[in-house]
Amino acid sequence: MAKLYFYYASMNAGKSSSLLQADFNYRERGMRTMVWTASLDTRSAGLVQSRIGLEAEAHRYTDTTDLWHAIVAAHGEAPLDCVLVDEAQFLTGAQVWQLARLADEAGIPVLCYGLRTDFRGELFPGSAVLLGIADALVELKAVCHCGRKATMNLRVDESGAPVKEGQQTEIGGNDRYLALCRKHFSAALAS
């Protein structure tokens, strides 16, 4: 039975690396995969890239992409063994349900990788639905500078000062975000 998986973590936990490793494992065994990433992330158009240098080509989705129809069409041409979605926090609720339908009706395992919360500690819409309906939830671990598990994403400005307000989504990497434990996240926002 195919399942919908949600692998979630803070920044710098290796979500994209894990996705790329899973994709490699399927393909190494002669299986066919389909990789998706958010068009919103313009840093690497058409690629899933990890900080350690791994990358793979990916289809890009926007908030209007009908993932069910796009994936079922590809599956009809040549059967898919797995669908992998990077930046899953940017999925809409409807898209998450489309991915669940792929697992339930088309029998295709779907592995989603993304952030759980934003820089304010609030759930992303796609993550909220995934946390609610995924068959399996897997927390990947990142490490705070103190050595504790990092669960929060602190947004910083160009000078490294904490950002407390703004749009939920601002694309960036280590230049814009720090993975911190809740204690150090709270302390940074209180300063």
Catalytic residues: 87
How many CB atoms lie under 10 A from the CB of residue 127?
Answer: 24
Provide φ and ψ at 59, rounded to 5°.
-75, 150
CA 178 to chain centre: 17
Using CA atoms, how far apart are residues 8 and 87, in angstroms rounded to an integer?
Answer: 10
DSSP letter (8 states) at residue 8: E
Using CA atoms, how far apart are residues 145 and 36, in angstroms rounded to an integer?
Answer: 31
How many CB atoms lie under 10 A from the CB of residue 45?
Answer: 10
Provide φ and ψ at 178, rounded to 5°.
-125, 135
- Helices within the chain (DSSP H only): 15-28, 67-77, 93-101, 125-133, 182-190
Per-residue tokens: 131: 């946390």
Per-residue tokens: 179: 């993975």
